[in-house]
Amino acid sequence: MDKPFQCVSVGYLITKPTPRPGHLSKEEFPEKIFSASKDVAQFFPDEWAIPWSRMDEQQRRHRAHAFGINNEQRAAVTAWCRERFSVEYGWPNVIFSLDTARSLKAQYLRDNEDVAILGVGLHRSLARDFGRIGPPPRQEPGFAPVGKSGIYEAFLRGAEIEDGTPLGFELIEYRQGFARTWLCSEEFDRSAGVNKYGLIDDFDEAMRRIGRLSQSSIKQWLPWLLVSCG
């Protein structure tokens, strides 16, 4: 498996292991999986703590409650996100440094035993490609500009993942954030096997699986290295 230092950091996610989706084979995939995709995982903080996101109050309360966050704590997290946006934190759930992620976890999630910090890395051989697809779309006349994603902001910093144990590569479509995961896409053949974490051990194998897609389907699929950072 590729070492973290062969990848540029695209940030840190505070998340929880997710019960294996029902369509995945219990012979191939573990009972619980880690993912960077909003398709299957929840994150702290996330859109529920960003004041200008379109999420309604009920959704915000529900998403925060999944991490044991009450309304008073949610207000404090929201204030932090507003103040530190694009400084220590980026859209919608990316934390730029491991120290910041650990500080947030210690302050708000100390008693939540299943919460984990994932570092996410992009193989350096893909840096030029991501430099092309990572920026936000051009501003359309009559519309407000689209800001940079947290992934792209972290990428521009050029840092390495600071510490941790590599878990494997997850194939995720990038759409100004971690969008669809291969775990929930019928375009991928998952029968070729995964490691004990439900991820792909080898970067070249991850690229081969993306390469088997039709040109019209490849779009912005990339292999992202997930690293357990505590």
Q: Are 47 and 83 in contact (CB under 8 A)?
A: no
pLDDT band at 185 (very low <50, low <70, confident <90, very high): confident
pLDDT digits (tens, 9 = 90+) for 199-218: 999 999 999 999 888 665 66
Q: How many CB atoms lie within 10 A of CB 79?
A: 12
Confidence at residue 12, expressed as pLDDT on a 0 to 100 scale? 98
Confidence at residue 215, expressed as pLDDT on a 0 to 100 scale? 65
Confidence at residue 4, expressed as pLDDT on a 0 to 100 scale? 52
Q: How many CB atoms lie within 10 A of CB 99?
A: 12
Ramachandran quadrant class, 198 (left: phi over 0; alpha: psi -120 to 50; beta: rest): left
Q: What is the rounded distance in angstroms from the CA atom of residue 197 to the CA atom of residue 82?
A: 34
Residues 6+ apart with CB under 8 A from 78: 45, 49, 50, 51
Confidence at residue 64, expressed as pLDDT on a 0 to 100 scale? 96
Residues 6+ apart with CB under 8 A from 3: 166
Q: How many CB atoms lie within 10 A of CB 39?
A: 18
pLDDT digits (tens, 9 = 90+) for 153-168: 999 999 998 889 999 9
Confidence at residue 213, expressed as pLDDT on a 0 to 100 scale? 80
pLDDT digits (tens, 9 = 90+) for 101-114: 999 999 999 988 89
**DSSP category for residue 200:** B
Question: Taking residues 29-52, what's their average pLDDT?
Answer: 95
Does the pLDDT value for residue 220 go beyond 70? yes
Residues 6+ apart with CB under 8 A from 166: 1, 2, 3, 4, 225, 226, 227, 228
Q: What is the mean pLDDT of the chain?
A: 90
